Structure 1
């Protein structure tokens, strides 16, 4: 099982992205490939699900483990395959999906592509009460690469210490910096701007 792939985002297609690492380009199917547009030609980390059937071997990729877990939950529903699960995740917030399932809102579920009344009812039967790991608003379809960017942020904080800033000052700006996805140099510039505004 491939847990994740970290590498350069080489290509974005309407159905998949290509992540190159170690000289190999991995085709990774995603709910919304264009959500990765701002990461083109930069290093990203994608959490993957390896789908294996007699005639299919594919990698599906997600911006977080939580989003991947929701995909896997949807695969467990009778009548929903990978294509359907991706379409659901591409068009709705996972937190809304959880709320609809727990609240038995069939009308809301039938708004998703490929989901009719029968499938909506099946989703409720198969998943209600099994989504306790998903807290509303905890999930987002926007890529979150805070962990992937941790190295750049760590280097930037070290640079601030080298410039003579003390831990108390650094802590004041670190929280704001963690909200960004930047290079080491950009983190440093942003930190210095924040320092001046304190």
Structure 2
């Protein structure tokens, strides 16, 4: 119904923004992280998702299109509602969240309020392959394994490809990948290096 709403940010709490457009104030639910990035009385744009249920009609939105795309992806998981999806979106940037799911980082996911181990495992089960495919990571993810990639590339090259596909910047990857490669040495495997680098990148943000 609404792709986005632009206007003046008249008020906000930690999870709700009111955006005025042509004399109408739109109440938009959002993540803590997203609302920390906008200031009162600024002209803003929120890309939106209209959530409709028998007992609820609510508007959810984010200042960036990738935010609402992530929110909608999380809602596609069985048992994940808007509150849990917002909590996950508040826990990190899109690249961190995608990285945690792709690398099966259950520990990171279960730190999110309202996300228990079963929910975290369901996120991984239902989204890993979709994220890898949609972000063109060039990875094949078996149901019970971590990330496996085309063998013709070096371990370093495969990890670089995956991390850039997840949205990390080259300077971030360069700083984090060298210690991980040194840690595992000549016998390094893609999945263990990728997991170590993602952990380092998440700690640095």
TM-score band (shorter)?
0.5 to 0.7
Structure 1, unpaired ranges of 5+: 140-198
Equivalent-residue separation in structure 2 for 1:67 and 1:49 (angstroms):
10
1:35 aligns with 2:36: yes
For residue 106 of structure 1, report the CA deviation from its aligned partner.
1.3
Cα deviation code 1:102-157 (max 9, x no counterpart): 11121221111111110011001110111144532369xxxxxxxxxxxxxxxxxx
Matches within 5 A, 1:10-159: 10-32=10-32, 34-38=35-39, 40-132=40-132, 133-134=134-135, 135-137=165-167
Equivalent-residue separation in structure 2 for 1:57 and 1:15 (angstroms):
16
Equivalent-residue separation in structure 2 for 1:62 and 1:138 (angstroms):
20
Is the 8 Å Cα contact of residues 38 and 44 (structure 2) preserved in structure 1? no
TM-score (norm 1): 0.65
Is the 8 Å Cα contact of residues 100 and 106 (structure 2) preserved in structure 1? yes
TM-score (norm 2): 0.63
Is the 8 Å Cα contact of residues 12 and 37 (structure 1) preserved in structure 2? no
Cα deviation code 1:56-76 (max 9, x no counterpart): 011001011111111001001
- Larger mean CA deviation between 75-84 and 90-99 belongs to 90-99
Q: Residues 138, 45 of structure 1: CA spacing in aligned structure 2 closer, same or farther, 3 A cutoff?
A: farther
For residue 37 of structure 1, report the CA deviation from its aligned partner.
4.3
- Rg larger for: 1
Cα deviation code 1:1-25 (max 9, x no counterpart): 1000011111112220000001100
Q: Residues 51, 26 of structure 1: CA spacing in aligned structure 2 closer, same or farther, 3 A cutoff?
A: same
Q: Secondary structure at the match of 2:36?
A: helix
Equivalent-residue separation in structure 1 for 2:15 and 2:118 (angstroms):
26
Equivalent-residue separation in structure 2 for 1:114 and 1:61 (angstroms):
20
Question: Would you identify which runs of 4 or more consecutive aligned residues in structure 1 move more than 2 Å?
Answer: 132-139
Is the 8 Å Cα contact of residues 47 and 63 (structure 1) preserved in structure 2? yes
Is the 8 Å Cα contact of residues 19 and 27 (structure 1) preserved in structure 2? yes
